Amino acid sequence: MRPRHFLYVLLFWLALPLTSFSGVESNSGAHKFYVSVTTVEYAQKEESLQIISRIFIDDLESALLARYDVKADLGTPGESEEGISYIERYFNSKFTVFVNGEVRKYTFLGRKYDRDQVICYLEVSGIPKAGLESVGIQNEILMDVFEEQKNLVHLKILGEKKSYVLIRENNKGMLNL
């Protein structure tokens, strides 16, 4: 890990307990920082990459409004079905998975809410262990809305682990096996 990336990861993990995600907002309702956390793990039995991405609800709503002019009201009784479908559409335009250097399609399995976050579940199937050489993630989620957005990505593949803090200028991380 490069020193600058290590510093970002270290700062994130030091700041996380202080905010515990629910205390990240200031009195004005604006975040002190913008971050998402995505974990990618290889499930050997299913021969698939299982992906969980955690994003602040209000930030994702801002992106859906800015990009598609959709007011989603995510996680509320007024939540729109249209807004939910736009989450998948937004992911498809801003989140890319590479296996052995090639773009792979993923299935958006769904989402759930945990306090002020939306947790999205994705899966890339049909990945036999024998041919798996590298896994890469390009994550531009919310970077089109928030200049200071950082997307933390944890890759856990076949016993190998690597973490990245992705920013606009460097939005891709890869784990070579």
- pLDDT in the model for residue 78: 87
Instruction: Tokens 């890339």: give the residue.
Output: 124
pLDDT at 2 (0 to 100) = 57
Is 139 in contact with 37 (CB distance < 8 Å)? no
Contact 134, 177 (CB under 8 A): yes
Task: Write out pLDDT tens, residues 84-139.
Answer: 899 999 999 999 999 999 999 999 999 999 999 999 999 999 999 998 999 999 99
Q: What pLDDT score does 3 carry?
A: 55
Q: What is the pTM of this model?
A: 0.80
Taking only the tens place, the pLDDT of each residue in 50-60 is 999 999 999 99
In this prediction, residue 10 carries a pLDDT of 47
Query: Stretch 14-33: mean pLDDT, rounded?
Result: 46
Provide the CATH topology of domain 3-15+29-54+95-176.
Immunoglobulin-like (2.60.40)
Residue 9 has pLDDT above 90, yes or no: no
pLDDT at position 29, please?
52
- Residue 26 in this model has a pLDDT that exceeds 90: no
Report the 3 state secondary structure along the chain.
Answer: CCHHHHHHHHHHHHHHHHHCCCCCECCCCCECCCEEEEEEEEECCCCEEEEEEEEEHHHHHHHHHHHHCCCCCCCCCCCCHHHHHHHHHHHHHHEEEEECCEEECCEEEEEEEECCEEEEEEEEECCCHHHCCEEEEEECCCCCCCCCCEEEEEEEECCEEEEEEEECCECEEEEEC
Between 63 and 81, residue with greater pLDDT: 63
- Residue 27: per-residue pLDDT: 38
| Residue 167 CA from chain centroid, whole number | 12
pLDDT at 65 over 90: yes
